[in-house]
């Protein structure tokens, strides 16, 4: 039986704009190439990739649905009608990933991603913090900017629905905060920046890898994401697995691949945010697992995935 999958990545698939979206292009290209390569390696899967007309063909040969920048949404909807499933990738900003995910139900096809309602919660830093804290998951407290928490190490100001490190700044003097429209504030938490690559379904989680993140903060306090070392924290997998399971239980609409950003502090791991989509760490995941991660995701449709032991992975570098 053949399953026809439409891969729609917002930035490379027709939604590319100047400014923040353009800044996300290199990471988007990396994730698209890795995902398409893994999908096409699964027997019985046929892939069509949404592709901005202005961009060259991707490095992986695959049928393309060329999209103009003029209202790409109806073009994606039209293309999706000829497929069995949608794999959406998009920034959470402005409800983009939620809207893209809802296209699957509207078209009557299978969504290979988290439920739109779960995406809506995860897209908001404040809503995510509230949902996790309500069930006792350790999470960085998140506040509106007019009520900053006490902070011995300063604060982190970020868009409530931002993606990646875009617009994220460390503030050491509150009077320097500037414009705070659409922002939230968190206490700056010293520790090791990390992430988890996880499979989720119906409130359950399977830890794929524990990754070290490379985060830089410039002289002005701006954060920049420089990549990850996938599997570098394998020695802490047993400690971090219960955290992944607690996050999945708190947000039972999470499905498929999910990234969890956290800080490893002296007092234990603390969740920063949840990414209900592919993250850049996915690019190195197949090499670390020595198993096709897409096959593990698709196993969620009919049974349980059986990923390799996250505590016994090599380290694979992914650079941005």
Pair 83, 5: CB distance under 8 Å: yes
By DSSP bridging, strand 45-52 and strand 64-67 are parallel
pLDDT score for 163: 84
Write down the pLDDT at residue 300.
98
- Give the pLDDT band (50/70/90) at residue 132: very high
Sorted by where each begins, the domain ranges of the chain are: 3-112, 121-137+190-319, 142-187
Judge contact between 156 and 169, C-beta under 8 A. Answer: yes
Question: How does pLDDT run across 301-320, given as a tens digit for each residue?
Answer: 999 999 999 999 999 999 99
Query: What pLDDT does 18 receive?
Result: 72
Query: Is domain 3-112 classified as CATH 3.40.390.10?
Result: no
Torsion of CA 247, 250, 252, 257, to 10 degrees: -20
Give mean pLDDT, residues 61-69: 94
Question: Is the confidence at residue 21, as pLDDT, over 80?
Answer: no
CATH 3.90.580.10: does it fit domain 121-137+190-319?
A: no
User: Using CA atoms, how far apart are residues 274 and 261, in angstroms rounded to an integer?
Assistant: 6
Q: What pLDDT is attached to residue 80?
A: 97
3-class DSSP state of 287: helix
- Which of the 8 DSSP states describes residue 222? B
**Three-point CA angle 269, 274, 276, nearest 5°:** 145
pTM for this model (two decimals) = 0.97
d(CA 294, CA 283): 12
């Amino acid at each position: 039986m053949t399953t026809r999958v439409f891969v729609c990545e917002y930035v490379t698939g027709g939604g590319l704009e100047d400014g923040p979206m353009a800044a996300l292009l290199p990471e988007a290209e990396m994730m698209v190439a890795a995902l398409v390569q893994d999908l096409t390696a699964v027997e019985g899967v046929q892939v069509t990739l949404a592709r901005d007309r202005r961009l060259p063909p991707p490095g992986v040969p695959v049928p393309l649905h060329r999209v103009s920048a003029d209202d790409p949404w109806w073009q994606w909807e039209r293309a999706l009608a000829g497929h069995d499933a949608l794999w959406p990738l998009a920034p959470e900003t402005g409800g983009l990933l939620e809207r893209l995910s809802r296209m699957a139900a509207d078209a009557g096809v299978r969504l290979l991603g988290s439920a739109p309602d779960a995406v809506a919660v995860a897209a908001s830093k404040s809503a995510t913090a509230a949902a996790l804290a309500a069930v006792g998951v350790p999470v960085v407290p998140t506040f509106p900017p007019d009520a900053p928490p006490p902070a011995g190490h300063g604060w982190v100001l970020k868009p409530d629905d931002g993606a990646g490190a875009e617009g994220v700044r460390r503030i050491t003097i509150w009077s320097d905060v500037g414009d705070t429209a659409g922002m939230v504030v968190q206490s700056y938490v010293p520790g090791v920046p990390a992430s988890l690559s996880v499979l989720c379904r119906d409130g359950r989680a399977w830890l794929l890898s524990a990754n070290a993140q490379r985060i830089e903060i410039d002289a002005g306090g701006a954060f920049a994401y420089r990549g990850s070392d996938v599997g570098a924290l394998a020695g802490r997998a047993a400690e971090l697995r219960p955290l992944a399971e607690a996050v999945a239980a708190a947000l039972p609409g999470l499905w498929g691949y999910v990234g969890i950003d956290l800080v490893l502090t002296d007092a234990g791991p603390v969740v920063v945010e949840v990414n209900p989509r592919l993250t850049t760490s996915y690019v190195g995941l197949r090499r670390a697992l020595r198993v096709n991660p897409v096959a593990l995701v698709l196993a969620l449709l009919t049974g349980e995935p059986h990923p390799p032991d996250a505590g016994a992975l090599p380290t694979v570098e992914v650079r941005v």
